[in-house]
Amino acid sequence: MDLRLNGKTALVTGASRGIGLATVRALTAEGVRVVAAARRPGPEVTATGAVPIAADLSDPAAADHLVASAIAELGGLDILVNNVGGGDSGGAGGFLDTTDAQWAEVVDLNFLASVRVTRAALPALLTARGAIVNVSSIGARVPSGGPIAYTTAKAALTAFGKAIADEFGARGVRVNTVSPGAVRTDLWESPTGYGADLAAAMGVPQPELLAALPAATGMLIDRLIDPAEVATLITYLASPLAAATTGADHRIDGGGVKTA
């Protein structure tokens, strides 16, 4: 299917691995000229043909510089994918184990970084009548499904997307949210990430935890979600084929969330 994206321009944050890297690959395969932003863009990013830009979006000043650099490189901006984030900080501890510093770090990276990048990018997106896709999590709907600071920050990101869609929709900018369930990313698979911490807290080997995770979370498929599957949905939502779709939160969770 031709998504009519050839020649469009995009900025993808958190692009060095997982969903971000898969999204860069999907967009470039459709002929999109992409700036791929990450703290340390690796050779996998360069191999996609995207333009890598190093940006630490935990620094409040980085968003303006990143967006200006992306627009200068691309000559404009049609698509913004706010994928930057992470859920590892704080490990598998609960509310009383989560410090103020951990709250600040997680909320800043998973919510405020996207707020800042969106604010910087909106003038160009308004000119292009472009599209924004925010990557949230089903944890925004099922807050017990992950670290409390992470799921709370993702809930804020989901609400933010709806508010921006409402404010700027009449001016031609579409905003949608994608909320994945358990995806094969470092959050679950890294030996030093949240999945490893959770396995240790439960007293089970990490591979055993991951094998049982789909059934334990109510998923109707017997595996974790592949990052490329999430990237396909993001790419469609960014395309002109989704021109009537805005202000929506799209779950891709293997049927794990049973409510509407």
Catalytic residues: 150
Q: Which two tokens stand for residue 10?
A: 């995009």
φ/ψ of residue 65, rounded to 5: -65, -45
Three-state SS sequence of 145-165? HCCHHHHHHHHHHHHHHHHHH
Amino acid at position 23, single letter:
T
Closest alpha carbon to 29 in 14, 43, 8 = 8
DSSP one-letter string for 195-216: HHHHHHHHTS-HHHHHHHHHHH
Question: Considering only CA atoms, which of 182, 178, 179 is closest in space to residue 220?
Answer: 182
Residue 33 pairs in a beta bridge with 9
The owner of tokens 């060095």 is 16
**Which of 132, 142, 139, 145 lies closest to 177, judged by CA?**
132
Backbone torsions φ then ψ of 240, nearest 5 degrees: -60, -20
